[in-house]
Structure 1
């Protein structure tokens, strides 16, 4: 189920396991691209128990609007008994998550494989 996110970022959804979706983000996640991310996440949230790994390996930039989309989705997912994990954040994104206090809010892993195995 591929979905595009604006001109500067693209999201692709893969199913590494039947019960887990991996959302691969590329480019920039900002005010221009966050609505498309929210649309993609909304589709994934329709699952009875959403389990999502967000692959940040190719994401170069994320602003507060992008973070807000992830926070809102995580709240819905937890309410439904699922989980959302972040994987492969580059140094900029890892520092951003630390700076705004989200590194303890989101389970983060060095790779998608580590997030899936957790």
Structure 2
């Protein structure tokens, strides 16, 4: 799994994730997200277009990050999940709590 972080001029952080998010790789994602949150970054869009699998550890990272962002006046938005990941997010109830957008462009603030 690869994680790339880019800061946008509007203060939003775009986190691009690719590959498999599982028990072996999720700690790198969690570390990247915690680093952003610790730095006070609370407007985050996660590009999931390159993710082919995500387990409960990855889902937990998204839930934790979302809660932290909202508690600090920001947001976490998930963008461009594969059909598998979109179904998974809906099945576990995260799609009802965390905004999920079809594209990164739709997820970015206007």
What is the TM-score with the length of structure 1 in the denominator?
A: 0.87
Flag the 1:49–1:35 CA change in 2: closer, same or farther, 3 A.
closer
Q: What is the match of residue 33 of structure 1? A: 25
Moved over 4 A (4+): none
**Correspondence 1:1-118 to 2 at 5 A:** 9-48=1-40, 50-117=42-109
| Secondary structure, counterpart of 2:18 in structure 1 | strand
Deviations 1:15-45 (A, max 9, x none): 2334100000000011111111111001111
Q: Give the superposition deviation at 1:49.
A: 5.0
Question: Unaligned regions of 5+ residues in structure 1, if any?
Answer: 1-8
What is the TM-score with the length of structure 2 in the denominator?
A: 0.93
Q: What is the alpha-carbon distance in structure 2 between the residues aligned to residue 98 and residue 44 of structure 1? A: 26
State the aligned residue count: 110
Q: Give the superposition deviation at 1:75.
A: 1.1
Computed over aligned residues only, the root mean square deviation of the Cα atoms, in angstroms, reads: 1.3
